[in-house]
Structure formats: C-alpha cells, structure tokens
Structure 1
Amino acid sequence: MTSAEALAIYQETLDALSDALMAGDTDTALARIKLPYLRRTLNSEVVIETPEDLVSGFLIYGEAVRGLGATNWVRLATEAAFLNDKYITGHHVTHTLRDATPVMESYASRMVLILEKGVWKMLEIHSMLSNPHWPIYIPRVEHSARSQTYVSSPQSDARKLAVAPLTLYQEFLDGLSAAHNADDFEAYCSYLLFPYTWHTESTDTIISSPDDVRPFFDEVRESIAARNGDRLVRYAEEAEFISGDLLCGYHATEFCSGARRVFGPVKSRMILKRKGTSWYLKSVTNSLENTKFPYIVPKPAKALVTLRTIQERTRT
C-alpha cells in the first residue's frame, strides 16, 4: 500500500463524486458516500445519517454550485495516505469554474475514505468554507490565507487502531451497563463527558454534571426492579469512526430477567469522543416519547430521531 496508490484512489473518488454533483447523479452519491458520514466547515459540524438527508443536501449543493454559473467543479488531490488497509486520508483543493474561469475562490479540504465491500467511499470531509449550517445553499470561502492551506489532520487518529469500531462500541456499552447493574454511580459517570447532550423524539437536554445524571440513574434501576428484571443489557448493532476522535454507534437496550426480556428493545444512538486512550459519551439519543429528563416511566417511540433533525431544532 503506497502513497501513490492512495493518491490514485483518492483522486478517483473525488472525480466520481464531483461529476455526480454537477450531473445531479444521486445514485453515485449514495454508492460512494458511507452513511453515517461527518461533514465539517470552519463553523459547523453535522453527521448525515439517512439516504434522504444525503440526497437532499447533495442536490441543494449541486444547485448552489451551478447557480454560481459553474460548468466544472474540479477537485485536485494534493496528497493521500493509507491509515490502514481500510481507510485513506488525504487533502485536495476545489476549483469552481465557468469553463476555465474561477467563479469563486478555491479552497482546501481534507477527506477520509473507507473501503466497504470493495468500494472506496467518502466517510468524512472537512472544508475551509465558512458556512455555519447544512445544507449549503451558497458556498462561502473563508477569505484568508487559510482557505488555500491544508486542513490539519488529527495527531492521533483512532482509525489507525487495530480494533474494529463495533468492538470498541460494545466494550463501551458493556462497561456502562455493568456500572448501572452494579449500582456504581461513580463508575457510570466516569464514562460521561460533561457536558453531554441527551435527546428523545421531541426533547433536547444538556446534562452538565453528575447531579443532573443521578435522578436518571436511579430511575432506570427502579424501572428494572418494577418489571422484576435483574439487569440492563445493551447490544451494539452498528458503529463507525466518523472522525479521528469520534465514533457513531447504534444499539438496542433491554431490561432482562434471566434469559427473558421484560422491557424493550429501545433503539439508541451514541456519539463517543476519544480523549487520550479512552472513549467518553458526548451525545445519546433514545427512541422514546418522553418529554422530560429524567423521566418516570420510559415510553418507547417508533423511530430514532436523526442527528440532522436534532441539528435543525437546536439551531441558534
């Protein structure tokens, strides 16, 4: 695995997605972008989870580029390297042109690719744009020397680890559940990155301290006991590194008595952040109808609200 091979793969991915953007080819976008994926500008960070959100944002951005009068959207790779045999990281510069004439300032980006079922797909992109929200209706370049400067790569990228993200996620869930089942509040809080956010179908709450967590911690144990359960179990279903220090995972939570399930499953999503060599909870979303934190009785909802929806309703 040489840098030349990485650069060729990186450029081919750029070309495929650039052509698709200008043509409004959403089939290629869906085939060459891994969900969920992380999109960052200088002023925003959003995780795109669903095909519907991907297609909507992709078409809107394509219309924005063409609306500038552009006939060509050229992205040229400047460097790329394998993080391991599954991930490539690289840098490129975007030129938005009407024939050969720029219609906006060029800007630098960093992108990470993932190999999935033999196809290289975009997993993360960080661009030197100043747009504060997504989708992007009018691309705005940071008017400084930084717009032509590489977006820095993280010093320690979790994707270099030999451990699969799903394995890490299950280990995190097991530790969190063990603390709950042992009634060890201090151990439970050691997994939390304060302040973190808690979301349900209709509610968004900032959890600032252990004092905010204690009522929830106790209520869950009381709910398990009220159903004659003896423990809480979380089963990891999907997980991926969406950046060098962020992991997005999906799991199901059940209350159990022996081998029997007495409540659940409740679908959930967590965003974990890596600090040093450990992972901590940054955000959790539960498929619940409850409108208050802590809740008295958990009320499962039919679906898990997307991060995109949460972003929109918490926009300031």
Structure 2
Amino acid sequence: MQHTSAIKLYQNHLDPLSRAIMDGDVTRFMAGLHLPHILRTVDSQISFETDDDLRQGVTYYMESLQAAGVTRLERRCKSAVYKSETQIEGYNSVRAYSGEAPAILPFLARMVLEFRDGEWRISETDMAVLRDKWDVLPQVGGKVEPLPNAPSSESEFNLACFQVLLNWLSQAALCNDFDAWSRACALPLTVTGRTGQTVFETEEALRNEFQYYMSAFDVHNVTDIIRRPLDVHMVGETRMTGTCRTYVLSHANLVVQPYDSEITFERVSNGFWQMVKMDNIIGHRDWTTEGAES
C-alpha cells in the first residue's frame, strides 16, 4: 500500500476538500472525513459522532467562512509519514484570505488519515490556533469542550505552538524527503554544535547537510525524534525562540543521551513559520551510541 508517497497522498486528499469548502459543498466535504471525527484547537476539542453532527458542523463552518468574508483557502502539506500501512500523519499550512488580505495569520494543522473500507479519509484534525481567534471552525451546539491542558495564558499558548512546530520539524526529518525538510527551514539557516557554527546560505548547501543528516539516521537506525519544549519567548509576532530537550530513538532505545537545544522560528517572507537557527549541545554529526543506554 505504501507505493504512494505519504506527502503526495495527503495533498491529493486535501485539495478536493479545500475546493469543497470554498464551493460550499457540504456532502462532498463530508465524504472526505471518517466518523467519529475529532477536531482540536490548542484549547478545545469536539467529536463528531454521527452524520447529523458532522453535517451541522460542516454547514456551520462553510456559512461562517462566508460571513467572515473568506474568499480563498490554501492548505499545503508540509510533511507526512506513514505511521502504519493504514494510517498517515501529516502537517499542513492553513492560509485564509479575504480578497488579497489575510483573514488570519497562517498556522499549522496536523491531520491523521486512515484507510478504512477501501478509502483514505481524515479521522483527526489539530489546529495550532485558539478557537476564539478562528471562530469559524465547525461546531455543534453544546459539544465544544475545553481541553484539560488548555493554555491559561499567552505564554502557555506560545509554548503549545512551539511544541507543534517542534513536532513538525521532527516529522519533516523523518520523511527522508529533502523538500519536506527544507520547508521547515529558512535560508540562511544557522546551526551551532560542538564543532562550531555553520551558516547554510544556499539550497545546495542545505541539501548536502540533509544528506549527511539522513546518513546519520541510517547508521543509527533512527525511527523517531521527540522534542519536548522547556521554555519559549516571542519577539513580536514574527520570531519565536525556545529551548527543548531532544530524544533520538531507534525503536525503544536511545541513540544518544537526551540533549538540549535552542531553536528559533521566524515568520519569513511568506508569512509562515520556519526554523532560522538551531543551537545544539550535540547534533547529528556528534551522535554516538556510547553512553546511550540508560
């Protein structure tokens, strides 16, 4: 089943749904979703259990977009991987416009596609946005629930958004696809490790580094990267710098002892978040199995 690229399959599924939204075609949009379908923001969640629930929610969404003056919706897959032969997890950007003006700052969404009854459909959607900041989202009266770990302050919201970006950055590497990984990075990209600082100015230089990165994955049989945020601070709405603890795994085993990094994301010229700087205590050029066992 994995003959199709996860990224290609994700985007091919996303495009007709985006068109259905803008066409106001509720039935066509519903056909792309599994039931139950879970929709989360960073502070809320709603589960659509029945066709009637989903129809009400999707109708509300389309009517709200129209009332808000949204004339164009763009969703582009940034990365996607097979979690199994019947499940794909991916990240996509979301851009909404009223004419040529953004209706909201671009944000990242995570979706889970599952293969059931001979079809790929979306079963989960997570959006890195507060519900009241994007109140067009589908809902059915009385069924929107606050998340138990919902951010209670702006700093907690920023930390939650930082976690989403870290998750995307890790998945982009696990794609083993340069285009996916490069979408998570901006040029010039500054990386600091044990050997000093390197600035990647060109796509060719970044591609060479990616190939070295993937070689380290192969040598150490890396199957997952987990980054846990420790803190984050914002500089306006366009720069986010935080520290995180990184766990590099080969199945259940650590490749190296967990290490801390400082990572900076910026909203670059296209308005979307990308990594511009990473300071590591160690990096993939320093990975060694020595001392990895706990």
TM-score range for the pair, normalised by the shorter chain length: 0.3 to 0.5
Max radius of gyration: which structure?
1
Q: What TM-score does the superposition give when structure 2 sets the normalisation length?
A: 0.45
